[in-house]
Structure 1
């Protein structure tokens, strides 16, 4: 089936000497993986390898096959140009990290317009703003709304947060967050990106909250892998 859709690049790997395999999250059909034959040697071709950087936003026309099969791209263009994500080291590191997170988190080959809109608008916000040191933390927390495990906030005054149950509790176990880490984690609840710069995390707080969020994902998503870029992210924001 030939389909034209917006898409966000999640992962790209080299295949042989001249080709790439890229995985994108599409607006109309969810996760799709494409074989880009000869793209590394065709200097004058319209489809260029530069289009497949992490989180690149594209309009593409593709031949979408049955689920699980490699697809092919007929035509594409950049839908939203970034001004800073690929030139600013902090934004570039965040983009690499979040692309990995999304690659390991989203598996559905079906339309989810609200999730796509969240991704699209979030990355445009990241590109356009300067105070972004806490962006990835709030992005990860709010992404759980679309993945189905956003924290229950009914008993937010309780002393523990149970990562496995996704709720605040009075009871401690090996999956609970407590103390200052819990205080820092709560700062992200119920806010949006426009006030994220007002959250007063120091480097230690930021690392602690990031570790909590990654563990939260590991507990709730089958097959989720800790991103290889996690250590790079921690180093850049330490």
Structure 2
């Protein structure tokens, strides 16, 4: 049976001379693995293969069988044609970070349509974002994603609770006994970021790139504390370099 679904490409691996194996977060079926035959050429790059770059949003007709670990795609095309995300070095690095983070969080397979629509919208917002908004985009995504997995940080920062306990996801009155916490300016900035409702509001938060790097590392630590076997992110160092 075939189904029409949108999908966000998370990862691709070359297979044989002309094929790809793609991991795709789909609107209908959650994370799925697809074999795509005949999209690569041994002699030159293929426009069909280019549609499976990580972060790409596709409109697909797929074959689906719950008993199979690998599915097949009957038809595919761009659902949204990016203007900058796949070509701009900074935006592409942020998109790669976002899809890696998403992939590490997603159970396989499990439908999560609200999460899909959020990720679809956030990639389109990144494509349209100004330079100032783009600079804070990875921070924003890192703080928004946990709400879909049950460990969203609580924005209860105030003068009496100025320290963010990363193990609990709450602001507290003093340094906890463990080393997993954020304090000072970075705790305040995290509170400001948690208040952001739409990406365009990120333009109001001005940060030195060194502080962005520290916050991204803290947020990775937060994920590591709440997701078993989270492990280091391959895209984080690249993101540090392009944002620096």
Q: 1:118 maps to what in 2?
A: 118
Q: Following the alignment from structure 1 to structure 2, what is the Cα–Cα distance between the partners of residues 42 and 27? A: 32
User: Residue in 2 aligned with 1:162?
Assistant: 165
Q: How far off its partner does 1:121 sit?
A: 0.8
The 2-side partners of 1:194 and 1:145 are apart by 20
Are the equivalent residues in 1 in contact too, given 2:162–2:188 (CA < 8 A)?
Answer: no
- Cα pair distance change 1:155/1:231, threshold 3 Å: closer
Contact kept in structure 2, 1:47 and 1:75, CA below 8 Å: no
Say which of 117, 141, 144 aligns to 2:143.
141
Cα distance, 1:203 vs structure 2: 0.9
Matched, 1:73 2:68: no
Any gaps of 5 or more consecutive residues in structure 1? Answer: none
Say if 1:104 and 1:223, in contact at 8 Å, map to a contact too.
no
Write out aligned runs for 1:59-208 (5 A): 59-66=59-66, 69-131=69-131, 132-154=134-156, 156-157=158-159, 158-170=161-173, 171-172=175-176, 173-191=178-196, 192-208=198-214
**Cα gap change, 1:68/1:217 in structure 2, threshold over 3 Å: closer, same or farther?**
farther
Count of matched residue pairs:
236
Q: Is the 8 A contact 1:28 1:110 kept in 2?
A: no
Runs (4 or more) in structure 1 with deviation over 3 Å come to: 154-157
Please give the alpha-carbon distance, in whole angstroms, between the structure 2 residues aligned to 1:78 and 1:160: 44
Structure 1 residues 4 and 156: alpha-carbon distance in aligned structure 2, compared to 1, 3 A threshold: farther
Cross-structure match for 2:35: 35
SS of 1:85's equivalent in the other structure is coil
Deviations 1:137-167 (A, max 9, x none): 1011011111211112345541321111111
Displacement of 1:87 in angstroms is 1.8
TM-score, L = length of structure 2 = 0.89
Which residue does the alignment assign to 1:230?
Answer: 236
1:188-220 CA-to-partner distances (Å, cap 9, x unmatched) read: 111121110110111111111111111111111
CA distances 1:49-69 after superposition (whole Å, capped 9, x unpaired): 111011101111111222660
Q: CA RMSD in A?
A: 2.0
CA distance in 2, matches of 1:24, 1:60: 11
